[in-house]
Amino acid sequence: MSGFSHIPVLRDEAVALLNPRENGVYLDGTFGGGGYARAILEASRCTLWAIDRDPAAIARGAALAASYPGRLHLVEGRISEILRLLNAGGVRALDGAVFDLGVSSYQIDDPARGFSFRADGPLDMRMGKDGISAAMLVNTVSESELADILFSFGEEKASRRIAKSIVERRRMQKFETTADLAGVIRSVVRPDKSGIDPATRSFQALRIAVNEELADIEAALAQTAEMLAPGGRLVVVSFHSLEDRIVKRFFATAAGRGAGASRHDPSRLLAVEKPRFRLITGSAKTASAAEVQKNPRARSAKLRAMERLAA
């Protein structure tokens, strides 16, 4: 594993918006390679709770925790359980929280984790050790369910054709490897002018389904918002439109913007409670051209931040 590393995206911008203060208590909900965590611990003498569902990330973090004695608390678990995990550690309120969503390079670049269609490996895709693998999913769900997953979570227009081919193939031989699955997808979807591998959208969709990513994000935002003290900030970096849509809507609602409803719709006024947050980023911040050049993963990143208002 030592050959891998993770270049954090929008780290400096996210930490500046989090604005950690001396003696404050903060959450990094997606510890990963610890790039954000280190920057937060460096920015002020605060305490940081860091969560990751991947035991490998937590194990790697031990060295960082040792270099900031008593200040970094690593917790293995899912962000959908923030309230329970933090309460178990005696944390009832937060002065700020940051999420850098999705998979890390440690996960995606390691063929043994089964996220990559570029290198062959077992068809796994689990970030943590719980739940069913991608192989179990593609070998068992119905054709229509599979098509729905590819369409909803991958925005894949050829979802029905791909699902049909997968089901036909698995009748003869079950899927076990990433290369095997990518091969079947590529035999159905032709590459377009974008140069993007035809398996990209399907792999994203399966990864989201396997890890129940979108439901976890919704739960994490709701629980974190409840725990934030007045002045506390929630900072989120997302990597695709499905994630960003959830964040954008949640933020708009929390800030009393009545997400979705037209400005001219009078019912909007009734629906909106007294806003509990103010938006710090009006529209999402994106990575600079220089950062994208250094790290292509930054291309699609969107950063949003909001702040808890006094009650």
Ligand X SMILES: C[S@@+](CC[C@H](N)C(=O)[O-])C[C@H]1O[C@@H](n2cnc3c(N)ncnc32)[C@H](O)[C@@H]1O
**Residues making contact with ligand X (CB under 6 A):** 6, 8, 30, 32-36, 51-54, 57, 78-79, 100, 102-104, 127, 216
| Least distance CB 255 / ligand X (angstroms) | 24
- Closer residue to ligand X (CB): 127 or 181: 127
| Least distance CB 248 / ligand X (angstroms) | 18
Cβ(22)–Cβ(45) below 8 Å: yes
- Closer residue to ligand X (CB): 126 or 248: 126
Tokens 């629980």 belong to 223
Cβ(180)–Cβ(123) below 8 Å: yes
288 beta partners: none
- Closer residue to ligand X (CB): 38 or 276: 38
- Closer residue to ligand X (CB): 106 or 175: 106
| Least distance CB 191 / ligand X (angstroms) | 27
- Closer residue to ligand X (CB): 32 or 232: 32
- Closer residue to ligand X (CB): 102 or 232: 102
- Closer residue to ligand X (CB): 78 or 304: 78
DSSP H helices in 189-271: 200-211, 213-227, 241-254, 267-271
Enter the tokens of residue 104.
């890390």
| Least distance CB 215 / ligand X (angstroms) | 9
Angle at 66 between CA 63 and CA 72, to 5 degrees: 100
The one-letter amino acid at 151: F
- Return the closest-CA partner of residue 285 out of 275, 266, 300: 300
| Least distance CB 204 / ligand X (angstroms) | 14
| Least distance CB 306 / ligand X (angstroms) | 19
142 beta partners: none
CA distance 305 to 236: 6
* Largest CA-CA distance found in the chain, in angstroms, rounded: 62
Q: Rounded to whole angstroms, what are the CA distances from 54 to 30, 66, 78, 241, 257?
A: 10, 19, 9, 24, 35
Q: What is the CA radius of gyration of the chain?
A: 20
| Least distance CB 52 / ligand X (angstroms) | 5
Angle at 86 between CA 249 and CA 89, to 5 degrees: 170
